[in-house]
Chains A and B, each alone.
Chain A
Amino acid sequence: MFNAERLKVKLAELDLCNPTVLASGILGITSKSLREVARSGAGAVTTKSVGLEPRDGYANPTVIHVECGLLNALGLPNPGIHKFSEELKELGDLEVPLILSVYGYSAKEYGAVAKMGEEAGVDAVELNLSCPHVKGVGAEIGQSPEKIREIVKEVKVQVKVPVFAKLTPNVSDIADLAKAAASCGVDGITAINTVKAMAIDVETARPILSNKIGGLSGGAVKPVAVRCVYEIYKAVKVPIIGCGGVRTWKDAVEFMLAGASAVQIGSAIAFEDLAVFKSITDGICKYLERKNVKSVNEIVGMAHRR
C-alpha cells in the first residue's frame, strides 16, 4: 500500500524521501538528536540557528504554551559555528539531507558561517532572516529587501550547496522579500518564521516571557503561513518550504496545495512527539492514493489552478 516513489521530493538539488522536514530550533543542537529525528521519519532535518560566535539564550521563561500555540523567545542560544562544526562532522553518514540554519549580524557573518557549515559537510544552508526577538539579527535584517539581497548574494558567493531564505511574516508584504531573495539566486524560500506576539500573566500583571515579546508558532499561525506561501508561490519560481502549525497530514497537504514543495514541522513535536513525521507521511500517502495522484509533486500549487 505504501508507495515510497509517490512521496519523493526534489527540493533544489536535495533528494527527500518524503516532504516532511524538521524546522530550525527544534531539537537540532546535537548530532545524536538530529539522528533520532531522521530515524523517526523526517525527510530532511534543519539545525538550530547558528552564528559566528557562541551566544547565551535569554533567562527563562523562554518557551510557553498559550491557548492556540507556543510562544517563544529563546534568544538564539547556540555554541557558535566553530564548536558546532564538530557536531555537523559527526553527521556525514546521516540518511537524510542536513540543512544548517545560519544567522548573523552582517552579510559577511552569514557568509562565513555558511562556508564553515559547507566545509563541515551540510547539504544545504537556510538563512534565518526572520527571528523576531533578537536585536540586530533575524527579522531586523530580514524585513529589508535590500539587506536580504546583500546577504543572499554574499552567501551564494561563499557556498555551492543550495541556499534557502527563511522569511518573516512580520511585514506588510512577504512576497516582496521573496522576490528580493529570488532576484539574487536563492534556491528556495522557507515561510514562515514565528509571528511577533506576547502573553501577560493577569495575577502578577507581568509579561511572562523574560524577553517580554516573542514569536508565536503552532496551530494559531497556520492560516497566516498558508496565506504567505500562497502569495510567495504567485511571486517567485523557486521552491517553497512551508512552515507554521503543521501537525497533521491535512495541514501538510494544505501547504502543498498553496505552493509548498515540502513542509517543516516544529511545535507539533510538543504535542505529537517524533511520531508526527511518520503519521504525516502516511496520511499524505493515503490522500494521494485516494485522489489517484502518482506523485506528491503534482499537488504543489494546485489551489492556484482552481
Chain B
Amino acid sequence: MSGWHTDANQLRTVSIQKVVTETELVKTLYFRDKHCASAKPGQFIMVWIPGVDEIPLSISSINGSLVSITVKEVGEATRTLNRMREGGLIGVRGPFGTHYKVVGKSALIVGGGVGTAPLMLLTSRLAGEKVKAVVVEGAKTRSELLFVDQLVELQKNNGFKAIFTTDDGSYGTKGLVTDATEKLLSTERFDIIYACGNEAMTTRIFELAEKYGTPLQASLERFMYCAMGICGSCVIGKYRVCRDGPVFNQTQLKEVEDDLGKIKLDPKGEKVKA
C-alpha cells in the first residue's frame, strides 16, 4: 500500500461551521475540508482539540466540501469538543483507514449507539448504488436513538427499511439490537452485513454472520496515537486498527477471534479487557 496520501496526513486547522444537537450527549459538528470530503464510508480522521487531546472520529456525512463528525461525550476530549461553537478551531488529519465496500444488492446495516455515525454515510452511498438496505439501530432508550428522522425519511427510498430497538422498549422493538438482527437473518437473506457499535455488539454480530453464513464488514475501535500505522497502540492480533482497519471483513475478524471482544491495549501498551 505505497503512495499513501501524504497531503491528507498533515494537520489542517478548520473552523466549525455549525453544531447540531442530536441527543443529550451527542452532537454533530460541521466543517469544510477537501481531504475529509474525499473520505469513504467507515474511514476516520484524527481531530485535534487544541490544548486538550487528539482523538479518532468517523466521518458521518459529506455534502460537497462540508463534512461532519458525530460525537458522543464520554470523557474530556469529547466533552470539550461538544461544547465548541460555530467559529471554534479544531485540527484535522486524515482520512485514514479502510472503508465499507459495496457488495451485492441487499445489505443489513447494524448500528449501536454512536456507531451509527459512519453507517449514515454508508447508507447514503448505498442508496445511490440502488442497494436494498435494512438498517437496525439500537440504543438503551428512546432519547438516545440517533438520526431517527433521517432514517425514517430514507424509508421513502425503494427497498429501504429502518428498524429501531431500545433496551427498555420506549421506542421500536424492545430488546437488544443483536436480537433483532438474528431475527432478520433467520428469515431473510442478505448479501452483506455492515456493522459498527461497541465491541460486545460487534462480537455478537460476528458470531451471527458465521452462523448464518453471511459476509460481514465491521468497524473496530482501539486507542490510537499515530493513526499512521507505526506506533502499534491500536493493534488487534496481527492487525492495526488505524491502517488495516477500522473496517475489517469476516476473514480478518476470524483471524483475530482470540482478541475480539476480549483484549485491547491501554495507552501504556498493556493488555486489558476490551
Q: Write the residues of chain A forming the contact surface with B, with a CB cutoff of 8 angstroms.
A: 25-30, 32-33, 35-36, 48, 54-57, 59-67, 70, 72, 74, 77-80, 83, 201-204, 206, 208, 210, 266-267, 269-273, 275
Q: Is B225 an interface residue (CB 8 A)?
A: yes
**14 other A-B residue contacts (CB within 8 Å) besides A26-B232, A57-B268:** A29-B233, A56-B267, A61-B48, A61-B54, A65-B228, A74-B225, A77-B233, A77-B269, A79-B271, A80-B268, A204-B50, A206-B51, A266-B230, A271-B2
| Per-residue interface assignment for chain B, residues 174 to 210, with 1 indicating a CB less than 8 Å from any chain A CB and 0 otherwise | 0000000000000000000000000000000000000
Contact, CB under 8 Å: B11 / A208: yes
Contact, CB under 8 Å: A275 / B2: yes
Most buried by B among A27, A63, A79: A63
Contact, CB under 8 Å: B13 / A29: no
Q: Which residue of B lies closest to A199 (CB)?
A: B11
* CB proximity to A under 8 Å, residues B218-234: 225-233
Given A62-B225, A63-B225, A275-B2, check contact A77 B230 (CB 8 Å).
no
Give the Cβ gap from B98 to chain A, nearest Cβ, in Å.
13
Q: Which of B34-42, B149-157, B158-166, B237-245 contacts A (4 or more CB under 8 A)?
A: B237-245
Contact, CB under 8 Å: A79 / B11: no
**Closest 10 interchain pairs by CB?**
A60-B54, A63-B226, A203-B13, A79-B270, A65-B9, A270-B228, A29-B269, A27-B232, A61-B54, A29-B232
Q: With the chains together, A82 CA to B48 CA distance in Å? A: 34
Within the complex, which residue of B9, B50, B52 is in contact with A201, where a contact is CB–CB below 8 Å? B50
Give the Cβ gap from B16 to chain A, nearest Cβ, in Å.
13
* CB proximity to A under 8 Å, residues B1-52: 1-2, 4, 6, 9-11, 13, 46, 48, 50-52
Q: Which residues of A contact B265 (CB under 8 A)?
A: 29-30
Given A57-B268, A77-B267, check contact A33 B229 (CB 8 Å).
no
Contact, CB under 8 Å: B228 / A60: no
Q: Which residue of B lies closest to A279 (CB)?
A: B2
Contact, CB under 8 Å: B268 / A54: yes
Q: Which residues of B contact A62 (CB under 8 A)?
A: 54, 225-226, 231
Q: Which residues of B contact A78 (CB under 8 A)?
A: 268-269
The number of residues on chain B lying at the interface, defined by a beta carbon within 8 Å of a beta carbon of chain A, is 39
Q: Which residues of B contact A269 (CB under 8 A)?
A: 229-230
Q: Which residues of B contact A59 (CB under 8 A)?
A: 52-53
Q: Which residue of A lies closest to B54 (CB)?
A: A60
Q: Which residue of B lies closest to A202 (CB)?
A: B13
Q: Which residues of B contact A72 (CB under 8 A)?
A: 226
Contact, CB under 8 Å: A275 / B50: no
Q: Which residues of B contact A28 (CB under 8 A)?
A: 232
Q: With the chains together, A31 CA to B225 CA distance in Å? A: 19
Contact, CB under 8 Å: A273 / B55: no
Q: With the chains together, A291 CA to B270 CA distance in Å? A: 47
Q: Which residues of B contact A36 (CB under 8 A)?
A: 238
Given A28-B232, A65-B10, check contact A206 B50 (CB 8 Å).
yes
Q: Which residue of A lies closest to B51 (CB)?
A: A206
Q: List 20 A-B contacts (CB under 8 A).
A: A28-B232, A29-B233, A32-B237, A60-B46, A60-B48, A61-B46, A61-B48, A62-B54, A62-B231, A64-B10, A70-B228, A80-B268, A83-B271, A201-B11, A206-B50, A267-B230, A270-B9, A271-B6, A273-B1, A275-B1
Q: Which residues of A contact B91 (CB under 8 A)?
A: 61, 201, 204, 208
Most buried by B among A48, A59, A78, A80: A59
Q: With the chains together, A77 CA to B225 CA distance in Å? A: 11
Contact, CB under 8 Å: B48 / A208: yes
Give the Cβ gap from B234 to chain A, nearest Cβ, in Å.
10
Q: With the chains together, A65 CA to B48 CA distance in Å? A: 13
Give the Cβ gap from A130 to chain B, nearest Cβ, in Å.
18
Contact, CB under 8 Å: A56 / B235: no
Within the complex, which residue of A33, A57, A206 is in contact with B238, where a contact is CB–CB below 8 Å? A33
Q: With the chains together, A74 CA to B226 CA distance in Å? A: 9
Q: Which residues of A contact B267 (CB under 8 A)?
A: 56-57, 77
Q: Which residues of A contact B231 (CB under 8 A)?
A: 25-27, 62-63, 74
Q: Which residues of A contact B9 (CB under 8 A)?
A: 65, 270
Q: Which residues of B contact A204 (CB under 8 A)?
A: 13, 50, 89, 91
Q: Is B140 an interface residue (CB 8 A)?
A: no
Give the Cβ gap from A95 to chain B, nearest Cβ, in Å.
15
Q: Which residues of A contact B11 (CB under 8 A)?
A: 61, 64-65, 201, 208
Within the complex, which residue of A30, A56, A67, A83 is in contact with B232, where a contact is CB–CB below 8 Å? A30
Q: With the chains together, A65 CA to B93 CA distance in Å? A: 9
Most buried by A among B1, B6, B226, B240: B226
Q: Which residues of B contact A79 (CB under 8 A)?
A: 268-271
Q: With the chains together, A208 CA to B13 CA distance in Å? A: 11
Q: Which residues of A contact B53 (CB under 8 A)?
A: 59-60, 210
